[in-house]
Structures are given as structure tokens and as C-alpha cells.
Amino acid sequence: MLVGVLFGCGIIAFIDEAVFHQLLHWHHFYDRSTPGAGLVSDGLFHAFSWFATVASLFLFADLRRRNALDTRRWVGGTLVGIGAFQLYDGVMHHKILDLHQIRYGVDLLPYDLLWNGAAVVFLVAGLLVLRTARRAGRGGDTADRA
């Protein structure tokens, strides 16, 4: 499950960075300073997302090699990672720390509802998948890491 969570965090961070930071230019990871600081913060964020994604894929391959991979738990963990990261970003980065907003110059309420609502949907879906995997008896000691 933890390998899936790491993969989910990495992949959703990459999608956020590529779509909202680079393609749409809606914000940088850190918008409280100069555009140059914003670009550096985006680079660090991008490096984190790729490190998490690649590291999780190495761990995934190791689990497969040892026949310890439970695909259902991995998928559930991935969904939990996506939802948890996106919810953390939406609440902590956007609202509490005010590092950046989803978009500037617009009414944020629809964006916040969609961003955090999607995060909750992913999180709940992942928890439901993990619950069904546990009920199916797929959770052994080695599979706990998947």
C-alpha cells in the first residue's frame, strides 16, 4: 500500500506541476516572491514529483520480483496518495500557508470546491479499494508494503 501512496503522490504532483504550473501558467509552487523564485520553487517541486514517482516504481518492481505485490492494495494506495496529496495541497498550501492559489483574478470558490472535492473523491475511492482488498483476504505481511 505504501508504494502505491508514494506513486500516487508523485504522479499527482507531476500532473499538477505540468498542467497548472507549466502549461496553463496559473501559478507557481511559491508565488509570494519574484517570478524567478517561483520558477525555482517549480523546479524543486518537479524534482520531488519525479523522485517520488521513480522511487515508487523501483519499489513496485522489487515487490513484483519477490511475488509480494498485491495489485488491489497498490491501486488503493495510489488513489489514497493522489487524494491525500491533492487535499494537503488544497488546504495547506492554498489556504493555510497561502503559498499560491489555484488561479488568480477569478472567484476561487468553484476552483477550491472542484480541487478539494476531487481530492476527497480520490481519497474515499482509495480507502474503499483498500477495504475490499482487506475483506478479500489479500493483506499479508509482505503485501502491506505494496
Domains of the chain, residue spans = 2-13+46-145
Vertex 6 angle, CA 43 and 139, to 5°:
175
Sorting pLDDT into bands at 50, 70 and 90, what band is 137?
A: confident
Distance CA 12, CA 74 (A): 15
Count CB atoms within 10 A of the CB of residue 121: 14
Identify whether the C-beta of residue 126 lies closer than 8 Å to the C-beta of residue 77.
yes
Sorting pLDDT into bands at 50, 70 and 90, what band is 136?
A: confident
- How much of the chain exceeds pLDDT 90, in percent? 84
Any idea how long the chain is? 146
List Cβ neighbours of 124 (8 Å cut-off, separation of 6 or more).
83
Residue 107 is predicted with a pLDDT of 96
